[in-house]
Amino acid sequence: MTRKSLLLWASSLPQPIADVLVIGGGATGLGVAVQAALEGRQVVLLEGRDFASGTSSRSTKLLHGGVRYLAQGRLALVREALRERGTLLRLAPHLAQPLPFVVAQKHWGSWLITSIGLKLYGALAGRLGLGSTDLLGAQTLRALMPKLPDAVAGVRYWDGQFEDARLALALARTAETAGAAVRNHSRVTGLEKHGDIWHVSVQDALSGERVTLLSRCVVNAAGVWIDTLRQQALATSDRSAAPGANPSAGPAQRHIPPLVRPSQGVHWVVDRETFPLKEAVLVPKTSDGRVLFALPWLGATLIGTTDTPRNDAPIEPQATAEELHFLFEQTRISLGVTLRPEDVRSVWVGLRPLVNSHPEHTSAEVSREHVIQRDAPGFVTITGGKWTTYRAMAEDLMQTLVSAGDLPNAPNTVRTDQHRLHGYTPNAPITGLQQAPGLHLLGSDAAEVARLPGHDCPLGLGLTESLVRYSARHEWAITVEDMLARRWRVLFLDARLAQKMAPRVADILREETGIDPQLNAFLSLSEQYILKSTETPCD
């Protein structure tokens, strides 16, 4: 698709006033856009950077019910997430698949508790269960995971795995097919309420062009950055509600308590040969009480994560020395693998938007349950939750807008739990997400990629020139980061290889779009994903 100028794009919208304008192109915002568009609403979605460029491309790649919530007695929360896990596996099987997990225990008491809990976890899934929960003896464990430290026994259970960035693209294209207007690299710079209509100021992040869009409702799905938008919305709402107020007056000074607490999670990737896995490993409780995962992902092994509270929300957070020390230490103690900095192909950091309902709790204790808050008439914020439950969150949000009287009942009755996502191919053979990246990740679009120029010109890690052209024409890829971080996960799998591939990718993107692909910015960014030799492991 050729990227239109912002003004031309805005003038081509079907209606001058949208029903719903969604701010944020992560899992939550894209899910809302799909739900609203399928309901027959006029929908606009704006993403300031690129789809899933924040939290939604930096997950642990798991679709899960939340094993840890069983210990908290939150059975309803677990059951809902397990139901949604099963739904998503059915809607996009090329991007979301079952994966077995092994939990090893060094003591019989902890093994017994783990076994009971995981049996209950499997039972809560009911008919949407993915496989049996099996008890494993020490000999079986050694055969499955020879590098794991000594254990008396273990348990194998099932959960889901997915490719988060490409699933976000599938949602974006599903929303677009349903009639939504979606656009990346388009920042919301201001919000004003005039009567019943929201005026949303937008700036193209690449060209600087500005435009104002109108909408009856605004959905704030900006992840860890929601509170800035909430402050703007409440300020303008206060002014417009005051008798005789001037809507163009300066912003009100009323401070609102933040709704989210950012928590930082660090992951890294090593070669499969360095840590060979066929099944995932879960360490339910490390020395400081956190959860650690290791799983096969796109031909490599992914290890994470940390859980560190932050008071800020940078666009590109970086791992602290303490977090890197933790991962080196726990990989050695809990997984039996001693890594050197040069073994790590890529390290990345994501920020989770945890709901700030109990400020005295640590981030590891705060629930991922979602919250919907109507901050002003026609302005609703949604936060919390997780990838697994994006669809249920979107349903709840649209029901909230109707219940509050911000929108009429939907023109169409829709069940998004039955609506297959873009790329779904009936009865197609499934290639496991443990395998190296390839055209199978595009589902039904793979044949079209193969017909484009450059299909026989490999660039590395399964990426071809034709795939870059396809992403520029059909998947909103504009910059090198768009292409090598999210359309194809090279930056997250091997940052040094991404640097080598970047110049040719930049040339192709420039040919296709005529827009500066920001090569130098990508090369600078990629340095943050490379673990330097000075960042030494623990002694």
pLDDT in tens, 60-78: 999 998 887 887 788 888 9
Q: Average of pLDDT values for 487-504?
A: 98
Q: What is the average pLDDT value for the chain, to the nearest integer?
A: 91
Q: Average of pLDDT values for 205-220?
A: 98
Give the tens place of pLDDT for each residue, 449-459.
Answer: 999 999 999 99
For residue 242, pLDDT over 70 is answered with no
For residue 366, pLDDT over 50 is answered with no
Q: Average of pLDDT values for 518-538?
A: 86
Backbone φ and ψ for 243, nearest 5 degrees, come out as -60, 130
Q: Average of pLDDT values for 260-277?
A: 93
Quick one: pLDDT at residue 534? 65
Under DSSP, the state recorded for 89 is H
Of 216, 214, 213, the C-alpha closest to 376 is 216
The better pLDDT of the pair 72, 537 is held by 72
Quick one: pLDDT at residue 42? 98
- How far apart CA 37 and CA 412 sit, in angstroms, is 9
Q: Of all helices (H) and strands (E), which one includes residue 22?
A: strand 17-23
CA 35 to chain centre: 18
Burial class (CB in 10 A: 0-12, 13-18, 19+), 304: buried
Of 354, 344, 262, the C-alpha closest to 310 is 262
- What percent of the chain shows pLDDT beyond 90? 76
Give the tens place of pLDDT for each residue, 308-344.
Answer: 888 899 999 999 999 999 999 999 988 989 999 999 9
Residue 472, helix vs strand vs coil: helix
Quick one: pLDDT at residue 55? 92
Q: Of all helices (H) and strands (E), which one includes residue 495?
A: helix 495-513
Q: Which residues of 163-189 are buried (b: 16+ CB within 10 A; e: fewer)?
A: bbbbbbbbbbbbbbebebbbbbbbebe
Q: Average of pLDDT values for 431-459?
A: 96
Quick one: pLDDT at residue 306? 83
Of 182, 189, 196, 192, the C-alpha closest to 211 is 189
Of 370, 376, 375, the C-alpha closest to 355 is 370
Q: Which residues 6+ apart lie within 8 Å of 153 measured at CB?
A: 104, 105, 108, 111, 135, 136, 137, 138, 141
The better pLDDT of the pair 454, 364 is held by 454
- How far apart CA 483 and CA 478 sit, in angstroms, is 8
**Which range, of 123-127, 390-394, 518-522, averages the lowest pLDDT?**
123-127
DSSP letters of 227-259?
HHHHHHHHHHHHHHHSTT--TTSPPP------S
For residue 357, pLDDT over 70 is answered with no
Instruction: Confirm or reject CATH 3.30.9.10 for domain 98-158+261-355, answering yes or no.
Output: yes
The better pLDDT of the pair 532, 395 is held by 395
DSSP letters of 302-354?
EEE---EE-S---SS----HHHHHHHHHHHHHHH-----GGGEEEEEEEEEEE
Of 489, 440, 481, 482, the C-alpha closest to 460 is 489
CATH superfamily of domain region 6-55+166-259+367-418: FAD/NAD(P)-binding domain (3.50.50.60)
Q: Average of pLDDT values for 171-185?
A: 98
Q: Which long-range contacts (CB under 8 A, 24 or more apart) does 11-16 make?
A: 13/42, 13/44, 13/181, 13/213, 14/42, 14/179, 14/181, 15/42, 16/214
For residue 349, pLDDT over 50 is answered with yes
Quick one: pLDDT at residue 218? 98
For residue 535, pLDDT over 90 is answered with no
Which single residue is written with the structure tokens 């609403």? 41
Quick one: pLDDT at residue 195? 93
Quick one: pLDDT at residue 363? 38
Task: Return the number of other C-beta atoms located less than 10 Å from residue 201's C-beta.
Answer: 15
Quick one: pLDDT at residue 115? 94
Give the tens place of pLDDT for each residue, 404-416.
Answer: 999 999 999 999 9
Under DSSP, the state recorded for 109 is H
Q: Which residues 6+ apart lie within 8 Å of 272 measured at CB?
A: 296, 299, 300, 301
Quick one: pLDDT at residue 397? 97
Q: Note the pTM of the prediction, 2 decimals.
A: 0.93
CA 446 to chain centre: 23
- How far apart CA 338 and CA 320 sit, in angstroms, is 20
For residue 351, pLDDT over 70 is answered with yes
For residue 361, pLDDT over 60 is answered with no
Quick one: pLDDT at residue 253? 52
Quick one: pLDDT at residue 307? 84
**Which range, of 294-298, 363-367, 512-516, averages the lowest pLDDT?**
363-367
Residue 295, helix vs strand vs coil: strand
Of 89, 124, 153, 142, the C-alpha closest to 424 is 89
Quick one: pLDDT at residue 70? 81
The two tokens of residue 499 are 């640097």
Quick one: pLDDT at residue 72? 77
Confidence grade of residue 537 (pLDDT, cut at 50, 70, 90): low
For residue 239, pLDDT over 70 is answered with no
Quick one: pLDDT at residue 158? 96
The two tokens of residue 337 are 């693998």
- What percent of the chain shows pLDDT beyond 70? 93
Quick one: pLDDT at residue 368? 55
Quick one: pLDDT at residue 533? 72
For residue 378, pLDDT over 90 is answered with yes
Give Cα separations from 6 to 11, 25, 187, 260, 532 (angstroms): 9, 17, 11, 31, 40
User: What are the residue ranges of CATH 3.30.9.10 in the chain?
Assistant: 98-158+261-355
Confidence grade of residue 359 (pLDDT, cut at 50, 70, 90): very low
Q: Which residues 6+ apart lie within 8 Å of 76 measured at CB?
A: none
User: What are the residue ranges of CATH 3.50.50.60 in the chain?
Assistant: 6-55+166-259+367-418
- Provide the residue type at 68 as one letter: R
Q: Average of pLDDT values for 208-217?
A: 98
